[in-house]
Amino acid sequence: LYQRAVEMDPSYAAARAGLALTYIASVAQSGDGRANAPELHLGLSEARQAVRLDPNLGLGYQVISFGLAVQGDYSGGLQAARRAVELNPNDPDSMMALAKAQVRFGQYDDAVANAERARRLHPMAPEYYAYVHGQALYAADRRDEASAVIEECLIRAPRDANCLLIQAALQGGGGEVEAAQQTMAKLIEAHPEFSLEAERAYRRFGDRPLMEEFLQDLAKAKAPETA
């Protein structure tokens, strides 16, 4: 759909940003850490072209932030997300993109604050918002609050893989081994491609020490090493 829209109107910046997102997401979801994948470079190229066409397109900077994070450029991803918020201070998607970038860059308290603000701005937000909020709270070592947010997510969407993932880590890290293993079983049922190998490649917490702690918490939940 986005490809067709760009073909019909090459100057349609929002369509280019949407097309870029599909390319980058395909790499992120592959789980093999292909930082030099052609699709990733193509996605970043399209996103940059989108913001050249429309310098005020917050979505374009959100997508650039995502692509740079997948590439391992966490500082660049943070800078792009900040630009998205500068352009749209009351846009919850831009605010959540910034929170996500801050989690990877290690700015956990700021990530919590921005995730909370994004959810206030978008009370009918999808489960992804609760996931990022819960992830930020987990990172900030506010585990009880993180559990409450993630439980709220799973009430609405019991098979949400991201929320199940954070719940398993919270339970594993909190010594609730049996509960963590049950949650992990649900996660694998919902997302059969999940593995510790894929998580290492995805770098959900960037290069911070928390990344290893997170993997250890998942290992306590008996996360599979490979899919």
Identify the CATH number of the domain in which residue 39 sits: 1.25.40.10
Q: What pLDDT score does 33 carry? A: 56
- CB-CB contact of 43 with 71 (8 Å): no
Q: Are residues 121 and 220 in the same domain?
A: yes
Q: What pLDDT score does 32 carry? A: 61
CA 37, 161, 21, 26 dihedral sign is positive
User: How many domains are contained in the chain?
Assistant: 2
Q: Are residues 70 and 178 in the same domain?
A: no
Q: What pLDDT score does 22 carry? A: 96
Q: Are residues 84 and 120 in the same domain?
A: no
Q: What is the DSSP string of 102-165?
A: HHHHT-HHHHHHHHHHHHHH-TT--HHHHHHHHHHHHHTT-HHHHHHHHHHHHHH-TT-HHHHH
Q: Are residues 172 and 223 in the same domain?
A: yes
Question: Is 163 within a domain?
Answer: yes
Q: What pLDDT score does 17 carry? A: 97
Mean pLDDT of all residues belonging to the chain: 96
Residue segments in the chain with a per-residue pLDDT below the cut of 70: 31-34
Which residue range forms the structural domain that includes residue 76?
1-89
Quick one: 120 exposed, middle or buried, by C-beta within 10 A (0-12, 13-18, 19+)?
Answer: exposed
Q: What pLDDT score does 87 carry? A: 98
Q: What pLDDT score does 70 carry? A: 94
Report how far Cα 99 is from the mean position of its chain's Cα atoms. 9
- Enclosing H/E stretch for 56: none
Q: What pLDDT score does 80 carry? A: 99
Q: What pLDDT score does 156 carry? A: 96
Q: Using alpha carbons, select from 197, 198, 194 the residue that is nearest to residue 184.
A: 194
What does the alpha-carbon distance between residue 104 and residue 130 come to, in Å, rounded to a whole number?
17
Q: Are residues 224 and 122 in the same domain?
A: yes
At residue 60, the 3 state secondary structure works out as helix
Q: Using alpha carbons, select from 48, 47, 124, 55 the residue that is nearest to residue 88.
A: 55
Q: Are residues 4 and 74 in the same domain?
A: yes
